[in-house]
Structure 1
Amino acid sequence: MPPTKTYNSKSFKPLIQSKTNKPSPVEKSLDLQIRHWLKRKDLLVKAVKYQKTNESAKINALIDKWRGICHQASNYLLNSMQVKIMHMGGYSTWKQQQKDKKINQSFDNDSYRENLSDFVNTEEFTHLSSYEQSDIMDQLNENSNQSISENETEETNLDDQLTMNELYRLLNINYDLIYN
C-alpha cells in the first residue's frame, strides 16, 4: 500500500464541511481527531515500509562506518595532542597549566559573584521588581553551585599520558557512544 498524502497542520482547512461559515466546536473536535488518526495511519504505513525495505541493515552499516571514521579521527587527534604536550614539557606541565587556567577562571567567577552579592545588599536592588530580584538571586546561586561542582570534579588521573577517555571528556564527547 503506497503512503498517503501527508497533511499540513499549519493551514486549517476543515475535513468536515460545515453548513455555516464557522464550524461548531463538535466539528472542530471531530476534525482534529480525524487529522490525528490520519497522521498515525501515515506513520504506521511508513513504519511498515521501513521494515520491508531492510533499511535497518543499511543504517547499522552506516553507524559502523562512521564509528570507524571517528576512531581514526580521534586517534589522529590524540597523537597530535600527545606530541604537542610533549613539546610543552610533558603531561604534568600541561596538567599544571590546565589547573592554573581553572584557578584564573574561578577568580573571575569569584569577582563576579562578589559583585552580585554586593549589588544584592544595595538600595538599588530593593527598587527592582521581584522578578528581577529573583533572577539575580538565581544567577548568584547558579554561579556558586557551579564553583562547588567544579571543585568536586578534581582530576584523579594518575596516568603520565593523555588518554582517549580524557580527550573525549575535554572535547565534551560521549566516549561510550563511539567505543561501545
Structure 2
Amino acid sequence: MDETTLIGDSSPVAGKGASAAVAKVRTPFRSPLARRKGAGSSDAVGRVSKRVPPPDGSSIESAVLYKEVGKLVAELDRQTAAYSRKTKELQDAIKVMESPEVEAETRALIDKWRAIAQGAVSYLLNSVLGKIDRLGGYEEFRRKELEREKRQLEYRLDNGFEDEMESVLESEEFNGLPEDLKEEYRETLDGKKSEFEQYKTKQFAQLDAQLDQVSKSSQQMDMREMCKRLNVDYSLVFDAPAEQ
C-alpha cells in the first residue's frame, strides 16, 4: 500500500491475486458465442413459468412473445416488491410522527449518531491531510492517485479482454463451427476489439480531464470530499441540504 492509498485500494500484481482480480473483471466485450448459446434461455421466464402458460405451437414469434411476457412479469414483480418495502417504511415513519415520545427519542438518537459520525470524519480528515502534506500537497496527491488508477484500469481492461478473446477462440463451440462461421466470428471479434480500444481511450481521457481540473484549481481536501471517499452521505452527517 503506497502513500496515495486511502481506503481499501491496491495495485495489480502478478500471481494468484492478479488472476482472481482478472476473473472478476467485466469488460464491454461480450462473446458472440455466449449470446448464441444463451439465446433460448431466460431466468425471468423460469421464475414466472407457473403463471405464464407456454405458447401454443413452436413458431419463433410465439417463443419471442413468451420470453418478452416473462420479462415483463418479472419486472412487475420487482416493482411490486419495491413499492411494498417503501409503503412499509412510510407506515413506520407515520407511526413515529404520531407519537411525540418516540419522535423525541428518535431525534436524540439521531443527534448522538451525528455527533459520533462528525468526530470520526474529522479525525480521518486530519490524518489524511497530514499524509497529503508529506506527498507535496493536494495536487501532487491527486496526480499520483490518478496515475495509479490509469495503470490499474489498463491492467484490468487489457487482461480481461484478452482472456475473453482467448476463451472464445479456444472453445469447443468455436472449433466445432464451419469455417465460414469461424471467419464471421473472427470479424465480429475484430470489431469488438476496435470498440474496446475506443472505450479504453475514453476512460483514459476522463482521468486526464480530472487531472487537468485539479491542476487549474486550488481545491483542497475537505469534509465533503472525505465523506464522498468514505461513501457517506454528507447531508446526513452534517445536517446540510442534500446536493442535487
**Structure 1 residues 161, 125: CA separation in 2 closer, same or farther (over 3 Å shift)?**
farther
- Aligned equivalents of 2:96, 2:227: Cα separation in 1: 38
Q: 1:64 aligns with which of 111, 114, 136?
A: 111
Aligned residues: 122
Deviates further, 96-105 or 109-118: 109-118
Pairwise CA distance, 1:106: 0.8
1:106 matched to 2:159? The reply is no
Pairwise CA distance, 1:119: 2.5
Q: Deviation string for 1:85-125 (max 9, x for gaps)?
A: 10122112211110121011111122223223423540406
- Aligned equivalents of 1:166, 1:73: Cα separation in 2: 14
- Aligned equivalents of 2:120, 2:137: Cα separation in 1: 23
- TM-score (structure 1 length as normaliser): 0.53
1:170 matched to 2:229? The reply is yes
**Structure 1 residues 48, 68: CA separation in 2 closer, same or farther (over 3 Å shift)?**
closer
Pairwise CA distance, 1:149: 6.8
- Aligned equivalents of 1:150, 1:177: Cα separation in 2: 33
| Letter paired with 1:58 | E
- TM-score (structure 2 length as normaliser): 0.41
Q: Deviation string for 1:25-81 (max 9, x for gaps)?
A: xxxxxxxxxxxxxxxxxxx9xx86994571111111110121122112211211111
Give the number of the structure whose alpha-carbon radius of gyration is greater: 1
Q: Which runs of 4+ in 1 moved over 4 A?
A: 47-53, 146-154
**Contact (CA 8 Å) 1:82, 1:161: kept in 2 or not?**
no
Matches within 5 A, 1:147-166: 152=206, 155=210, 156-157=213-214, 158-166=217-225
Gaps of 5+ in 2: 1-90, 175-191
The 3-state SS of whatever aligns with 2:152 is helix
The 3-state SS of whatever aligns with 2:171 is helix
- Aligned equivalents of 2:161, 2:128: Cα separation in 1: 37
Pairwise CA distance, 1:159: 3.1
- Aligned equivalents of 1:174, 1:49: Cα separation in 2: 23
Quote the sequence identity (%). Answer: 24
Note the aligned Cα RMSD (angstroms).
3.6
- Aligned equivalents of 1:160, 1:49: Cα separation in 2: 42
Match of 2:125 in 1: 78
Gaps of 5+ in 1: 1-43, 128-139
- Aligned equivalents of 2:118, 2:96: Cα separation in 1: 33
**Contact (CA 8 Å) 1:78, 1:164: kept in 2 or not?**
yes
| Letter paired with 1:83 | G
